[in-house]
Amino acid sequence: MKNHLLLWVGALLITLLSGCATTSYQAINVDEFEPAKPSLSELDNWQINAKLGIRTATDAQSIRMLWQQQGEEYQLRLNGPLGFGTAYIVGNSDQAEIQKGEQLIITSPQQLAMQLTGIPLPITALSWWVKGLVSPNHTTATSIQRTQTGQLESFQQAGWQISILSYSQTGAYWTPKKIAGRQGELSFKLIISDWQFSNNKAAE
C-alpha cells in the first residue's frame, strides 16, 4: 500500500512539472511603449547657422546667415556685403519685411531675396530643401535622384536645379550640410555649420 502511494505521488509531480514546462509567456515589446520618432517634415521649429554664397553673371558675394524657423514664421539675420551691413528679416510664406535704417520694407519673400542678393531665392522652398526634402508648397519636384540610402541627392523645383552635396548627422537625423542651386547664370551654395531643433526629439 505504501509503495502504491509513493507511485501515485510521483506520477502527480511528473504531471505538474510537465504542465509547467509547456506554459508559454508572451514577450513584451518595449518599443510599443516608446513614442515614434517624428519625421523631418514634422520638425518645423529649428535653427541653422550657415554661409550662403551667391553668384550672378557679374557678381559674387558671401553672406553669413542665422535662420530661425517656427512653424510658418521665420527670422533671418544676414551679415555680409549687402550694402548696409547686417540685415534682420522676419516673414512667412506670404510676405517678408526688413528694417533698413528708419525705412521698413515689406514685400514678398522672393522679391526681398532678389533685392538683397541679386537672385530670386525662394525662401519658403529653401526651408524644406535645407532639411533634405522637396517643398510640398511649390510645383512638383522632377528629375529626383537619391543616394543609395534613400536621401535626396538632386532634383528640380521652383525653377531651380538643386544638388545636396553632403549630409551630416544631427541627433537621430541626417540633415544636409552642403546644398547647391542653379538657375541659368544664377547660383547659390549653402554650407550649414550647425543645426538645432527647438523640440529636442531630434537629439534623443
Which 3 state secondary structure label does DSSP give 102?
A: coil
**pLDDT greater than 80 at residue 10:** no
What is the pLDDT, as a whole number, of residue 31? 45
What is the pLDDT, as a whole number, of residue 63? 92
Q: What is the mean pLDDT of residues 117-124?
A: 89
pLDDT tens-digit map of 56-104: 999 899 999 999 999 999 999 988 876 667 888 999 989 999 876 677 8
Q: What is the mean pLDDT of residues 159-173?
A: 94
pLDDT tens-digit map of 24-42: 444 444 444 445 678 899 9
Cell matching residue 151: 536621401
What is the pLDDT, as a whole number, of residue 69? 96
CATH topology of domain 40-203: outer membrane lipoprotein receptor (LolB), chain A (2.50.20)
Binned at pLDDT 50, 70 and 90, residue 176 comes out as very high
Does the pTM of the predicted model rise above 0.85? Answer: no
d(CA 73, CA 196): 16
Exposed / middle / buried, residue 204 (Cβ in 10 Å: 0-12, 13-18, 19+): exposed
Give me the chain's average pLDDT, please: 82
Cβ neighbours of 77 (radius 10 Å): 14
